[in-house]
Structure formats: structure tokens, C-alpha cells
Amino acid sequence: MITVIENKKGLNLKQRIHELNEYRELLWTLAYRDFRVKYTQTILGILWAVIEPLFTAVLLSFVFNKVAKANTFGINPVLFGLTGMIAWNYFANVVGQGTGSLILAQNMIKKIYFPKIILPASKAIAALPDLLIALVFTLIFYFIYRDHVGFNLIYLPVFLLLTIVSAMSLGIWFSALNIRYRDFRHIVPFVIRIGLFVTPIAYTTMDVPEQFRWIFYLNPMTGIIEGIRWSLFGLQMDCNYFFISIAVIIMLFITGFLFFNKMEKNIADII
């Protein structure tokens, strides 16, 4: 094995992917550590994965459906809110944790070499058990309340995968920005808090005036959550709008990887 260390410009994609494959065990180990640490010395343990989205969903459905009278198309408002909330909760967790992941691990970064993209990426894996448990709970709820289950259900994993990809991409983006500009430590929680309301968690984009609707779909989670509703409840979904969200996700994924790669060289020097 020969390593040549020099100041090279540009990106050797094949080499990068090979290296990430070499370090895949570290990705799992770091994810396992985060997951373990999150629930040590808690009484309710993993139950928190259900409690948190459930209570937020109840609250949101109260605000949007009882107060603002949003249409849930005859679906139980809490179930309706919960289907959006589990995806949003995962997304918010991964992006929030990912943003600070490099700063938190600065000791490691300054002492050991590894592909640093693993740090924000591992947050997407560490939050998966939470997502799955909340999902199982939601599906139980769903099968109890739903007499008719559509064929669209088999597409649900696709939307979950899109959730993971978009959360990971944004986490990667923000972690790299946060290294250079610590302002993102304040910006990201703020954006996530606003996102809770501008993402159609307890309402649908049908309630949004037609001419503004495309703006909502610039938020990748809008397309994903509408997609989840489509697969679970067969609610109508406008494909043209949906593809705006998909395009945003793909763009975030590619640019996130490239931008991180550009920043990575200097992380240890400026952190």
C-alpha cells in the first residue's frame, strides 16, 4: 500500500468512494455510539422515539385542524399529523445533529485521519431506530383506523429513503458551513423551527393558494410528506410539484458532497 500525500486540487471520485467503503465500519460504529449514548440513563429509553413525535402531532393537529380548520380529508387528524411528523422529526434531528457534528468531534478530527463526511452522515443512521419505532407505532395506529389499505403502500419505503437522503444531504451541507461560519449554529435551529410550520405536517398543500404552492415544494420535506400521504391514504398528489422537491433533493445531495469535499482538506486547520 503506497500513500502519496501532496496538495492536489480537484476530486478523484473513484478514490473517494473506495475510501468511504474502507471506512464503512466506522460509520456504523459512530452511529451505534450516538444511539447508545442517547438513551443511557433514561427511564423511558427508546419510548421517547414515539412520545416526541406523537405529542407534537397532537399539538399541531389541534392548531391546524381545530383552530385553523385545515382539511384532513376525513382522516383522523392525529394519525394524519403523525404520518407527517415522524418524517419531519427524523429530518429535523438529523439536520440539527449533523450541523454540529464536526465541531463536537474536533478532538478526533485534529488527531486522526478519516473521511470526515462520515460524521454528519452517521447522524442519519443513528436516528434510524427512532424513525423505525415511530413508524411501527404509526402503522399500528394506521391499520386500526383504516378499513381500506391501498396498493400505494408498497411505495412507502421509497419516501422514507428520500427522507434519509435529504436529511443527510442537508446535514452535510450545514456541518461544512458551520466549520467556516459558526453562525449556522444559530441559523439551523431557527430554520428547523420555521420548517415545522411551513412543512405540510398537519395540513396539505391543497390549502395553500395555487400561485405560492411551488415555493412550498422547494422544501424537500413537502414533496416527501405529501408522498407519504399519497402512499398511505391515496391522497391526490400533483406530480409536477412533487418533482420540484425531488430535483431539490438531488441537487442538495450532489452539491453537499462536492462542497464538503472542497472544505474537507482544511477542516483540521480552521476548526
Partner 1 sequence: MTKDIIIEIENLSKKFKIGKNAGDLRHSFSNMFSFSREKPIEIWALKDISFKVEQGEVFGIIGPNGSGKSTILKILSKITYPTSGKAILKGRVSSLLEVGTGFHPELTGRENVYLNGSILGMKRSEIKRKFDEIVDFSGVERFIDTPVKHYSSGMYVRLAFSVAAHLDPEILLVDEVLSVGDMAFRQKSIGKMHEVANSGRTVLFVSHNLNAVKSLCKKGIYLESGGIKALGDIKKVIENYENSVLNYENLDATNTKIVNEIIETKEIVIIESQGNKSSLICSGDNINIAMNLLSKIELKDIRIRLEFKDKKNNVLFVCNNFLTGKTINLNKGENILICKISKLPLNTGIYYIDLIMVKNRQTIYSGYNIIKFEVTSGNFYKTGNLPSETRQFLIEHSWKIK
Is residue 66 part of the contact set for partner 1 (CB under 8 A)? Answer: no
> Can you tell me which of 37, 47, 149, 158 binds partner 1, judged by CB under 8 A?
37
HSE toward the beta carbon, residue 218, CA cutoff 13 A:
4
Residue with smaller CB distance to partner 1, 112 or 154: 112
Is residue 36 part of the contact set for partner 1 (CB under 8 A)? Answer: yes
Q: Distance of CA 63 to CAs 133, 196, 207, Å? A: 25, 12, 15
> Can you tell me which of 15, 21, 25, 212 binds partner 1, judged by CB under 8 A?
25
CA–CA dist 184, 175 (Å, integer): 8
Task: Collapse the DSSP code of 236 into the 3-class scheme (helix H, G, I; strand E, B; otherwise coil) and give the result.
Answer: coil
Of the ranges 35-43, 48-56, 188-196, 204-212, which one interacts with partner 1 (CB under 8 A)?
Answer: 35-43
**Is 171 in contact with 97 (CB distance < 8 Å)?**
yes
> Can you tell me which of 13, 17, 33, 194 binds partner 1, judged by CB under 8 A?
33
Residue with smaller CB distance to partner 1, 193 or 265: 265
CA–CA dist 88, 152 (Å, integer): 21
- In total, the chain counts a number of residues equal to 271
Is residue 31 part of the contact set for partner 1 (CB under 8 A)? Answer: no
Is residue 2 part of the contact set for partner 1 (CB under 8 A)? Answer: yes
Residue with smaller CB distance to partner 1, 3 or 211: 3
Is residue 240 part of the contact set for partner 1 (CB under 8 A)? Answer: no
Of the ranges 28-36, 188-196, 210-218, 230-238, which one interacts with partner 1 (CB under 8 A)?
Answer: 28-36
Single out the residue of 26, 96, 16 nearest to residue 258, CA to CA.
Answer: 16
Q: Count CB atoms within 10 A of the CB of residue 48.
A: 16
CA–CA dist 157, 50 (Å, integer): 19
Residue with smaller CB distance to partner 1, 39 or 62: 39
Q: Which positions from 131 through 190 interact with partner 1, judged by CB under 8 A? A: 179-183
Q: Does an H or E element contain 83, and which?
A: helix 77-104
Q: Which positions from 85 through 114 interact with partner 1, judged by CB under 8 A? A: 105, 107-114
Instruction: Please count the residues of this chain forming the interface with partner 1, following the rule CB under 8 A.
Output: 35
C-alpha gyration radius of the chain: 20
Q: Which residues contact partner 1 (rule: CB under 8 A)?
A: 1-7, 25-26, 29-30, 33, 36-37, 40-41, 105, 107-114, 179-183, 265-266, 268-270
